[in-house]
Amino acid sequence: MAQPVRVALLGCGTVGSAVVRLMHQQAEDLTARIGAPLELVGVAVRRPNRDRGDLGLDRSLFTADALSLAKRDDVDIVVEVVGGIEPARTWLTEALRAGKSVVTGNKALLAEDGGTIHDAAAEGGADLYYEAAVAGAIPLLRPLRESLHGDRITRVTGIVNGTTNFILSAMDASGMGFEEALEEATELGYAEPDPTADIEGFDAAAKAAILASLAFHTRVTAADVYREGITDVTATDMASAHTMGATIKLLCIATRTDGGGVAVRVHPAMIPKSHPLASVGDAFNAVFIEADAAGQLMFYGRGAGGAPSASAVLGDIVAVARNRIAGHRAASESSYAALPVRPMGEVSTRYHVSLDVADRAGVLATVANVFARQGVSIATVRQSGRDASAQLVIVTHTAPDAALRATVEDLRALDIVRSVASVLRVEGESSR
Ligand SMILES: NC(=O)c1ccc[n+]([C@@H]2O[C@H](COP(=O)([O-])OP(=O)(O)OC[C@H]3O[C@@H](n4cnc5c(N)ncnc54)[C@H](OP(=O)(O)O)[C@@H]3O)[C@@H](O)[C@H]2O)c1
């Protein structure tokens, strides 16, 4: 039996404590799978004196000095489940440069400054694995970075934030509004006390950047991702989606663009109920990948939570431990394609626009004319009257997002348009 593979754990919160439990529960099998036992040689936390007796760890293992632990000579693998940009970036770059393998779930850091972390891994000849950073337990990054490397991925569409999916699923099922659904999500523990990162789409944008980087062999950062959250989605929007045989999901979408670039975005969108992502309910995640040869693939499962994320972390630990024993490292970051990231205005999308208009002759023609002026073609129009006003619901064909936005601005300026009640993008096939 080979010498133990020595692990330093940075962070022992929701994910870290689940990693410790799984390491204990699976110890024998992990040893057999790796060919050597895993040994936890230190745990860095913010409050080392806090009672964590339930984990069955010796108190002497705990420290508040993560950097010193990460650089210790008797550490082979650094597992970082603290989060945030600094000091995590310093810990990981120093550990990698010192040749230690790193396993992390830190999507924020990888999306903001993944280049620095990957460069440090290349410098130190060390492994960098981060399966838990996107979609928790779902094996997704390894398939992208290994299994699909012989193919050409054209599009990745995902539901990668459980909180917002829970909220939108509740709105879809019960007709409740956003605020009420958020309250329910908070009560049930699906939403943080400060839910901004989830409901404003920051968390999904970080994951979108990581997915796009892997799918298109191009460094994409969170700042490259167009982002809109779900706070403006109303019960009326959801009802309107139902009328179209659709629902509303917060999607992350990464595509190749016509001019040879990539575009990455996160925003709520209507998708037909027949689309595989429409049936992903509750706090589940799913990612739909389209590739030239493989066709369509869908990955589905629990995107967050201690145990599901620990499953992904342990999978990575086993992989890097095996690599260390075999004396090799996995292929480094693949960013050779270096495709340009195109702005949202150039992305082709479809809009669902709901207008409150004056109920008089010629309104429809005036509105249609605004669309025509911007070169946007209308797919369907629905009209319903209400006293002196009427509601017009227009779904467009595909057009550049900039033209669709300009159309909406022009509509707002019309006298006969009392308000633009809602604007949502439409994804998937149906334009009913
Ligand atoms: N939660 C999930 O479902 C999930 C899923 C996938 C990925 N992730 C990612 O995993 C990471 C951790 O998430 P989490 O939910 O487990 O967080 P968490 O429950 O808040 O735990 C954070 C841990 O980091 C420790 N810590 C904080 N600042 C520190 C410092 N300066 N030095 C040393 N230790 C420090 C904390 O110590 P104390 O215990 O003393 O407070 C705690 O143990 C994040 O990057 C997150 O994005 C989380």
pTM: 0.96
The pLDDT score that the predictor gives to residue 386 is 65
Is pLDDT above 60 for 65? Answer: yes
Q: How far is the CA of 398 from the centre of ligand 1 (A)?
A: 42
Known catalytic residue at 71? no
pLDDT (average), residues 323-337? 90
Residue (of 337, 342, 184) closest to 259 by Cα position: 342
Determine contact, residues 323/2, Cβ cutoff 8 Å. Answer: no
Read off the pLDDT of residues 357-384 as tens digits, 9 standing for 90 and up: 998 889 999 999 999 999 999 999 998 8
Q: 49-58 b/e with 16+ CB inside 10 Å = b?
A: eeebeebebe
Determine contact, residues 268/159, Cβ cutoff 8 Å. Answer: no
Q: Which two tokens stand for residue 200?
A: 């404003």
State whether the beta carbon of 177 lies less than 6 angstroms from ligand 1: no
State whether the beta carbon of 137 lies less than 6 angstroms from ligand 1: no
Backbone dihedral angles phi then psi of residue 296, each to the nearest 5 degrees? -100, 135
Q: What is the DSSP letter of 146?
A: I
CB atoms within 10 A of CB 281: 15
Among the options 100, 107, 207, 249, which is catalytic? 207
The pLDDT score that the predictor gives to residue 259 is 87
State whether the beta carbon of 48 lies less than 6 angstroms from ligand 1: no
The pLDDT score that the predictor gives to residue 229 is 98
* Rounded to 5°, angle at Cα 22 from 17 and 23: 95
pLDDT (average), residues 42-71? 96
Is pLDDT above 90 for 346? Answer: yes
SS3 294: coil
- Helices (DSSP H) in 220-338: which residue ranges? 235-243, 306-326
287 vs 99: CA distance, rounded Å: 33
pLDDT (average), residues 264-292? 97
Ligand 1 atom closest to the CA of 84, numbered from 1: 45
Residue (of 227, 305, 219) closest to 265 by Cα position: 227
Is pLDDT above 80 for 429? Answer: no
The pLDDT score that the predictor gives to residue 2 is 83
Q: Which two tokens stand for residue 251?
A: 């999607």
- pLDDT above 90 covers what percent of the chain? 93
State whether the beta carbon of 70 lies less than 6 angstroms from ligand 1: no
pLDDT (average), residues 214-226? 98
Confidence of residue 387 (pLDDT cuts 50, 70, 90): low
- Helices (DSSP H) in 46-161: which residue ranges? 66-71, 88-97, 107-124, 141-142
215 vs 207: CA distance, rounded Å: 12
Is pLDDT above 70 for 267? Answer: yes
Ligand 1 atom closest to the CA of 306, numbered from 1: 3
pLDDT (average), residues 310-334? 93
State whether the beta carbon of 138 lies less than 6 angstroms from ligand 1: no
Read off the pLDDT of residues 31-51 as tens digits, 9 standing for 90 and up: 999 999 999 999 999 999 999
Confidence of residue 431 (pLDDT cuts 50, 70, 90): very low
Read off the pLDDT of residues 183-204 as tens digits, 9 standing for 90 and up: 999 999 999 999 999 999 999 9
Return the bridge partners of 299, or none: 287
pLDDT (average), residues 79-89? 98
Confidence of residue 388 (pLDDT cuts 50, 70, 90): confident
pLDDT (average), residues 208-234? 98
405 vs 358: CA distance, rounded Å: 22
Q: How far is the CA of 81 from the centre of ligand 1 (A)?
A: 5
Q: How far is the CA of 109 from the centre of ligand 1 (A)?
A: 13
Residue located nearest, by CA, to atom 15 of ligand 1: 14
State whether the beta carbon of 158 lies less than 6 angstroms from ligand 1: no
Read off the pLDDT of residues 114-158 as tens digits, 9 standing for 90 and up: 999 999 999 999 999 999 999 999 999 999 999 999 999 999 999
